[in-house]
């Protein structure tokens, strides 16, 4: 979504957005990041407009959460509609269970360990890193580098 927002700013100007999130008590960081991308794409939508579905029956029926994952899931759906209602897009990302988060954490730790080793091996003398030498990474960096196992 970030790449799309960077390459096509404003492409969805005038579109309306409906966002559904199943289960959490507050809007997830993932939903906030995706909504930020939609805003860059021209959609007028605020995080407080996300519809959070807490009722397990509705999570199953409206969002499609499998019953066995009601206690651990991340289901998100974003529906865009053109001003004249003739065009619609739907973006959805669903996670069943929690193991993928643990696996991603391990992948991120390995990625960061490799970065630390690279930095340490490239320095001839020991010194304190300045702010200019520091980087902030995210999971997109892990994906770009092909570091997911």
Q: Over the stretch 103-130, which tens digit does the pLDDT of each residue have?
A: 999 999 999 998 888 777 766 545 555 5
Q: Is this model's pTM higher than 0.85 or not?
A: no
Maximal C-alpha separation, the chain:
64
Partners of 93 in the beta sheet? Answer: 76
**CA atoms of 105 and 46, how far apart (whole Å):** 29
* Residue 19 burial by Cβ neighbours in a 10 Å radius (0-12, 13-18, 19+): buried
Domains and CATH numbers, the chain: 2-97 (3.30.360), 101-144 (no CATH)
Q: Once rounded to an integer, what is the mean pLDDT over residues 46-51?
A: 88
* C-alpha torsion sign, points 22, 26, 32, 38: positive
User: How many helices and strands in the chain, by DSSP H and E?
Assistant: 5, 4
């Amino acid at each position: 979504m970030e790449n799309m927002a960077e390459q096509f700013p404003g492409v969805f100007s005038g579109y309306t957005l409906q966002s559904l999130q199943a289960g959490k008590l507050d809007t997830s960081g993932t939903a906030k990041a995706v909504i930020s991308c939609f805003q860059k794409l021209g959609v007028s939508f605020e995080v407080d407009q996300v519809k959070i579905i807490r009722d397990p029956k509705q999570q199953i029926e409206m969002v499609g959460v499998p019953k066995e994952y009601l206690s651990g899931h991340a289901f998100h759906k974003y529906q865009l509609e053109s001003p004249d209602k003739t065009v619609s897009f739907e973006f959805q990302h669903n996670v069943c269970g929690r193991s993928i988060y643990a696996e991603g954490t391990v992948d991120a730790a390995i990625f960061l360990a490799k970065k630390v080793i690279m930095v340490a091996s490239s320095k001839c003398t020991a010194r304190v890193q300045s702010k200019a030498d520091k980087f902030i990474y995210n999971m997109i960096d892990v994906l770009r580098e092909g570091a997911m196992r």
